[in-house]
């Protein structure tokens, strides 16, 4: 949650270091032409501007960490299992809503398929659809309904028991 990765901060810090290094070499090369005092001023100018950019980059990184601390923790949030599967929330009511029923009906109508009946699962956003002699588990959590394959269902720790 307190991740401080920010592209702008890294770019500012990189440019700041680059300015310091470039002005260091400019100062070394200008010692013979302009003298030691002018070369020191060139280096000092680069060190000031470079440090300023380094500081701005660090401030942005710290502010990103503070901003990320505001992310609310969802009640009932379950950590993702090590298998990389999405955690499931228990549904409040094991009934297929009218909106879910309409989504599934439209989805099957677009594919020119028919189904016999719908059954709610204990997990929010998942519905069992019975077609002929088989059944399919539909994921309604995305932008459009998705039929889960048998392999996806068997590999998921929560869905394999449905």
CB within 8 Å of 117: residues ≥ 6 apart? 129, 130
Separation between Cα atoms, residue 59 and residue 42, nearest integer Å:
26
Last residue of a domain, one of 21, 48, 69: 69
Within a domain: residue 90? no
Distance CA 20, CA 45 (A): 9
Residues 102 and 150 in one domain: yes
From the list 161, 117, 107, 111, the residue with the least C-alpha distance to 139 is 107
Number of domains in the chain: 2
Is 48 inside any structural domain? yes
Q: Which domain holds residue 145?
A: 98-161
pLDDT at 52 over 80: yes
Q: What is the pTM of this model?
A: 0.43
Answer whether residue 86 is part of any domain.
no
pLDDT at residue 84, rounded to an integer:
46
Q: What is the mean pLDDT of the chain?
A: 81
Is residue 90 within 8 A of residue 124, CB to CB? The reply is yes
Answer whether residue 35 is part of any domain. Answer: yes
One domain for residues 59 and 102 = no
Q: Is the pLDDT of residue 2 over 70?
A: no
């Amino acid at each position: 949650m307190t991740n401080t990765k920010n592209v702008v901060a890294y770019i500012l810090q990189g440019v700041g270091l680059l300015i310091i290094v470039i002005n260091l070499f400019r100062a070394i090369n200008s010692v013979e032409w302009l003298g030691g005092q002018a070369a020191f001023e060139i280096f000092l100018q680069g060190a000031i501007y470079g440090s300023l950019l380094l500081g701005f980059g660090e401030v942005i990184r710290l502010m990103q960490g503070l901003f990320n601390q505001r992310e609310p923790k969802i009640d009932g949030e379950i950590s993702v299992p090590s298998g990389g599967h999405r955690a499931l929330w228990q549904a409040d009511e094991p009934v297929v809503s009218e909106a879910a029923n309409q989504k599934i009906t439209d989805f099957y109508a677009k594919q020119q398929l028919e189904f016999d009946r719908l059954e709610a699962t204990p997990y929010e956003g998942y519905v069992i659809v019975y077609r002929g002699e088989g059944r399919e588990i539909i994921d309604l959590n995305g932008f459009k309904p998705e039929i889960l394959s048998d392999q996806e269902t068997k590999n998921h720790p929560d869905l394999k028991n449905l």
